[in-house]
Amino acid sequence: MTAVEPGHEPRRGPGRRAGESRTREAILDAARRRFGEQGYDGATIRGIAADAGVNPALVHHFYGSKERLFAAAMRLPVVPSELITSVLGAERDRLGDQFRSRIGEILIGTMLRAWDVADIRTAFLGLLRSAATSDHGVVMLREFVTSTIITSLTQVAGLGDDAAGRYRATLVASQVVGLGFARYVLSLEPLASATTEDLAAAIGPTVQRYLTGDIGPAGVSS
Amino acid sequence: MTAVEPGHEPRRGPGRRAGESRTREAILDAARRRFGEQGYDGATIRGIAADAGVNPALVHHFYGSKERLFAAAMRLPVVPSELITSVLGAERDRLGDQFRSRIGEILIGTMLRAWDVADIRTAFLGLLRSAATSDHGVVMLREFVTSTIITSLTQVAGLGDDAAGRYRATLVASQVVGLGFARYVLSLEPLASATTEDLAAAIGPTVQRYLTGDIGPAGVSS
């Protein structure tokens, strides 16, 4: 891919690196503005590139996908759907046939270990905060969660991409978001200082049932 | 109870009513300030009365309890622990022996019907927002939830007031808060437009297990 910034002569050495760093900053600034104003679905790489005064191919070259650009702009230390897909994919390969019956416990354990990383926890809480305080923030987070996390969750759990599958995935999201809120925002004790193992044992079966068990008529795929 | 505002001559007619209304406003202003700065547990009726320049007995006379004063100050249209105790108490009387095995479904149905009331939903979202955005707000909400909602939930569910009982109640809180956040803040579809009956069928068993079922070793009372 040949991606050259318009209006900048290619240079070598530290000057060139500083130029690239400024260009990345301009792209991320434009991305934060567009995602905030237009939501995750409405913002386009083309529009963000135009605001930053660069070629869309350069944005693709630097960030690869809209979700990665979003993660960089929001300073997320991981790309959420890639975390879900890679960790759960590795467990699926390891456990084989047992994977599907243990996905709830594995998912909660994965979330808790991710939140143990301070940067990930800070980013997660920042997104919750922006959703709780601004109408733009809530649209952005809703669309981001729906387009990336819910979609990768239905795929990795082998759910149909229909209303019933997405209903199951949003039930999981409700318990996961609530766990994060109760443990890290409200710090409700004794849940806040419970071990990862205890919480995976308590909450894993909830997620398991939401994904694969009986949740009433609305969970039956047509 | 004889409660007279110091510095005010008792009057009759509209003037007296206007005076009472101003006094109530002064008490609620002082309460909002004290709850915000000192948290729910730290703020005292005595301190709030002093700030408002009235006798503590008058605050008791007007509001009856610290929780009711908090509810009035935060413009909550219901007193949360009274809602839990009254609705679940009525169901317990109605269902007798069956109550304990259906408490999860009843609790989720009660929460969803309460949130259907616009004023209650607005107040709930306001508390979540203040917890997500301010350190004072989070302390206030944590202590309020712990002192009132968790306590009334352990009582009505017949849990012990020990670490295991409170762990069960905080697990319930994590799912209930997450349901509210996913349904009313994020509006994640299709969960956001699911019926009360579908959600009670899907999430009721979660709450039931957290309160009365097997949740691993940390749920066993000593």
Tell which of A138, A174, A197, A222 to mutate to test the B interface (max B CBs under 10 Å). Answer: A174
CA A66 – CA A69 distance, rounded (Å): 5
> How many beta-carbon pairs below 8 A join chains A and B?
158
Write out chain A's pLDDT in tens, 222 residues.
344 444 444 555 566 777 888 999 999 999 999 988 888 889 999 999 999 999 999 999 999 999 999 999 988 888 888 888 888 889 999 999 999 999 999 999 999 999 999 888 888 888 888 888 788 888 888 888 888 888 888 888 888 889 999 999 999 999 999 999 999 999 999 999 999 999 999 999 999 999 999 998 887 776
Average pLDDT, chain B: 87
DSSP string, B40-91: HHH--HHHHHHHHTS-HHHHHHHHSSHHHHHHHHTT-SS-HHHHHHHHHHHH
| Residue contact A206–B175, C-beta within 8 A | yes
- Which residue in A175, A198, A215 is closest to B218 by CB distance? A198
Distance from CA of A114 to the nearest CA of B (A): 18
- How much is the pLDDT for B69? 94
The mean pLDDT of B42-69, rounded to a whole number, is 95
List the one residue out of B172, B155, B166, B182 whose CA is nearest residue B208. Answer: B172
Q: Is the pLDDT of residue B106 over 70?
A: yes
The mean pLDDT of B127-141, rounded to a whole number, is 83
Question: Which residues of chain A does B189 touch, with a Cβ-Cβ cutoff of 8 Å?
Answer: 146, 166, 170
- Could you tell me how many helices (H) and strands (E) chain A has, helices first? 11, 0
Distance from CA of B222 to the nearest CA of A (A): 15
- How much is the pLDDT for B2? 39
- Which residue in B145, B202, B216 is closest to A186 by CB distance? B145
CA B197 – CA A10 distance, rounded (Å): 63
| Residue contact B206–A209, C-beta within 8 A | yes
